Amino acid sequence: MKRDLGDGYELDDDPARIDHEAVHRYLSEESYWARGRARDVQDALIDGAARVVGLYHDGVQVGFTRTLSDGYAQSYLADVYVLGEHRGRGLGVELVRFSVDEGPYASTKWFLHTEDAHDLYRKFGFAEPGPKALERWSQS
């Protein structure tokens, strides 16, 4: 599924189109949540995802999301980014909208973890966890 955003930007959920090298470079070198992540791990995460979405400008990947889902009830939004030089154009909003509201998992309950962009995610109904939410961090 593709969506043209104008000005040379488009969204596409074709997994064959994802630039694994570009995703790994950003996540392992620039993100706070996946800094140092090994390339083979990143490739496995992409390949095992329920859905991946690329944001492209003139055919070059400039953003990404990864979705994990059981396909019926719950989905998790992960590894969301837009390269710095492409921010400030509403592309992050469109990337999240396409990933969460316009895909095959739109009717599921969504989760995510983030230290930033809370206002962006609130536009899509994400809020602080309620009293029923528990979390267990990695034991390693």
CATH number of residue 82's parent domain: 3.40.630.30
In a domain, 97, yes or no: yes
Q: Which residues contact 60 (CB under 8 A, 6 or more apart)?
A: 19
In a domain, 7, yes or no: yes
Question: How many structural domains is the chain composed of?
Answer: 1
For residue 15, being part of any structural domain is answered with yes
Q: 62 and 86 in contact (C-beta within 8 Å)?
A: yes
Structural domain range at position 111: 2-122
* pLDDT, tens digit (0-9, with 9 covering 90-100), for 74-119: 999 999 999 999 999 999 999 999 999 999 999 999 999 888 888 8
Give me the pLDDT at residue 140, please: 63
Asked, for residue 81, whether it belongs to a domain, the answer is yes
Prediction pTM value? 0.91
Nearest-angstrom CA–CA distance, 37 and 41: 7
In a 3-state reduction of DSSP, which class is residue 111? strand
